[in-house]
């Protein structure tokens, strides 16, 4: 890290509740070591453009309960180009940075891997993604908050579904991951979840038959189906199932509502622990790693492994949902 240790921190990709709590943790843990901290505006884009802000302890005060990210974020595919990364390395060199903490999901981890391969910086990634699809951690920062936000909406929809004897299809985020859908379905007492990891879950004829049978057999007033956006569109699914069953169906799309709001206590504490772990890794000269929580222990996993492997959906949870929906 040199005679005057300096560290940079950025948030990249989709925003996730708890990112601010992680920025706070990284900043204050680094300052406690006597390091200088640079916050990078708008992710990798800001890194290339040299948009740095000097962070002191008071700069990260009062943000632990705020969603979003005070540093801003962006999706910046240009960072895939070596020329753009070269400009970022020049900017880091000008600031005398010896370590980089990148907070975000799989795209952020991929960018961090490139930086670790091409520079002598200590590069550490912290997983923050509401989709909970990053390998190397049981839970990513923001996942718990997103689930609870969606669950609050589902609990309210259950009430109106009961009143009108309808089937409600609720679309939640998750293009490639059904983690939010499955977790919300289990916690919300839904009859089914449609997730991209299990293609059979989106087979409409089978789904319609199961819903109709369950409603008749259990004498339920209503049913809820939670759809991950990458597996099925709620409006299309509702229309088809209504045609197949003759039961009135409605669709609700929660959308970006799931990204906002104050992070839960779980996400705030996870962010604090992983922010500390990231600074510890930088201090030890570790690079090309992600810090995550595995079986309640903080562990480091190489970004090479993160890029090569997938965070798998809990299939047992899906099987349990089918059992509990009887």
Look up residue 222 and give its two tokens: 């209503």
Give 144-182 pLDDT, tens digit per residue.
999 999 999 999 999 999 899 999 999 999 999 999 999
Average pLDDT for residues 236-243, to the nearest whole number? 96
pLDDT in the model for residue 137: 98
Contact 13, 105 (CB under 8 A): yes
Give residue 3's pLDDT band: very low, low, confident or very high (50, 70, 90). Answer: low
Give residue 216's pLDDT band: very low, low, confident or very high (50, 70, 90). Answer: confident
Which residue shows structure tokens 């996730």?
16
pLDDT in the model for residue 114: 97
Q: The whole model's pTM is what?
A: 0.95
User: Residue 233 and residue 99: Cα distance in Å, rounded?
Assistant: 42
Three-class DSSP category at 229: coil
pLDDT, mean over the chain: 95
Distances in whole angstroms, Cα of residue 1 to Cα of each of 4, 8, 92: 7, 12, 13
The contacts of residue 61 (CB under 8 Å, 6+ apart) are: 24
Q: Does the structure show a pLDDT above 60 at 1?
A: no
Q: Does the structure show a pLDDT above 60 at 130?
A: yes
319 tagged catalytic: no
* Angle ∠(77,145,105) on CA atoms, nearest 5: 20
**From start to end of the chain, where are the E strands?**
6-11, 36-40, 52-55, 99-104, 122-127, 167-172, 192-194, 223-228, 249-253, 289-294, 297-302
Domains and CATH numbers, the chain: 6-142+263-308 (3.40.50.450), 144-260 (3.40.50.460)
Alpha helices in 78-178 (DSSP H): 82-94, 106-118, 143-164
Three-class DSSP category at 170: strand
Q: Dihedral of the CA atoms 254, 257, 263, 264 (nearest 10)?
A: -30
User: Residue 301 and residue 17: Cα distance in Å, rounded?
Assistant: 23
Which of 15, 42, 114, 131 does the annotation list as catalytic?
Answer: 131
Residue whose C-alpha is closest to residue 125's, from 294, 267, 277, 263:
277
Three-class DSSP category at 118: helix
Distances in whole angstroms, Cα of residue 178 to Cα of each of 106, 115, 190, 276: 16, 30, 14, 29
Which residue shows structure tokens 């040199």?
2
DSSP 58-94: GGGTT-TT--S-TT-----GGGGSHHHHHHHHHHHHH
């Amino acid at each position: 890290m040199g005679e005057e240790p300096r560290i940079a921190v950025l948030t990249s990709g989709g925003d996730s509740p708890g990112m601010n709590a992680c920025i706070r943790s990284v900043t204050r843990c680094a300052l406690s070591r006597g390091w200088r901290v640079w916050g990078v505006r708008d992710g990798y884009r800001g890194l290339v453009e040299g948009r740095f802000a000097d962070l002191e302890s008071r700069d990260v005060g009062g943000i632990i309960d705020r969603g979003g990210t005070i540093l801003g974020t962006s999706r910046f595919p240009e960072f895939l180009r070596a020329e753009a990364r070269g400009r970022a390395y020049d900017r880091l060199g000008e600031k005398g940075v010896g370590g980089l903490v990148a907070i975000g999901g799989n795209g952020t981890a991929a960018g961090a891997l490139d930086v670790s391969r091409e520079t002598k910086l200590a590069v550490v990634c912290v997983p923050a993604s509401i989709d909970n699809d990053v390998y190397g951690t049981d839970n990513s920062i923001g996942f718990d908050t997103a689930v609870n936000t969606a669950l609050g909406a589902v609990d309210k929809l259950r009430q109106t579904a009961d009143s009108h004897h309808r089937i409600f299809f609720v679309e939640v985020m998750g293009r490639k991951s059904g983690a939010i859908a499955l977790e919300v379905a289990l916690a919300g007492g839904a009859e089914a979840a449609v997730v991209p990891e299990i293609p059979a879950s989106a087979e409409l004829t089978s789904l319609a038959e199961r819903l109709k049978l369950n409603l008749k057999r259990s004498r339920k007033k209503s049913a809820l189906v939670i759809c991950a956006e990458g597996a099925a569109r709620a409006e299309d699914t509702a229309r088809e199932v209504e045609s197949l069953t003759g039961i009135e169906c409605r669709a609700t799309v929660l959308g970006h509502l799931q990204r906002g709001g104050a992070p839960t206590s779980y996400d705030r504490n996870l962010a604090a622990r992983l922010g500390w772990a990231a600074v510890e890794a930088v201090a030890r000269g570790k690079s090309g790693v992600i810090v995550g929580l595995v079986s309640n222990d903080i562990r480091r996993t190489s970004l090479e492994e993160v890029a090569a492997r997938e965070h798998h959906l809990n299939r047992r949870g899906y099987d349990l949902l089918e059992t509990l929906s009887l």
